[in-house]
Amino acid sequence: MIHKYPRKAWEVLEVIGPLVLNWVPGCVVEIGAGVTTKLLDDLAVEFGRPFYSCDLRKDPNGLKKRWKLSKYYKPYKGTSDDFAKQFNEKIAFAFIDGCHLYDFVKRDFWFVYKLLNPGGVVCMHDMLPASQKHAGPGQCQDAYKLRLELEKREDIEIFSWPYPNYHGVSMVIKKLRRWYPPEEEKWE
């Protein structure tokens, strides 16, 4: 799906992407091609990472020509479920903006998350609708229900921004294993 708003609306990805890719090994993955495809390709070039983009679009290579995408861009034409069956590379940074129905978003997220390196980040669009109207058909639908589930888990970190376009972006970080001081040594 090609989004109606400009690349500038995706500044949050342009800030988070380099922070992650500077420290976490792995490739870049996108589920649902659009304006973000060029942005993620630019990050792949900057950090020398393979960039896999999955979309149902009839001609995903048409994007490569139109946006002058790099040699790092590796399109996959098909469903994210089919993509998941044949993909097994470790991931550093991913963006999910495919089907906005809860069941699909949940499958896409857990497929990406299981391949995410510790410290890696999954960003998901349509996770924080501004109103009930924004949660309707053709908008966020019920994708936000996954965010509500993930916020209850202790094994991940999640943070959500209300933009772009009142649909929100949630960032999920795969926690690193850390040493924590014993209870009696914790600071007050």
pTM score, whole prediction = 0.87
Task: Tell me the pLDDT of the chain (188 aa) as tens digits.
Answer: 344 445 667 888 999 999 999 999 999 999 999 889 999 999 999 999 999 999 997 666 677 888 889 999 999 999 999 999 999 999 999 999 998 889 999 999 999 999 999 999 999 988 777 677 777 777 778 888 899 899 999 888 999 887 766 688 889 998 776 655 556 555 55
**Could you tell me the domains of the chain?**
7-185 (3.40.50.150)
For residues 112 and 94, give the distance between their C-alpha atoms in angstroms, rounded to a whole number.
7
Amino acid at 108: D
DSSP string of 126-182, one letter each residue: SSS-SSTGGGSTTTTTTTHHHHHHHTT-SSEEEEEE--STTT-EEEEEEPPP-----
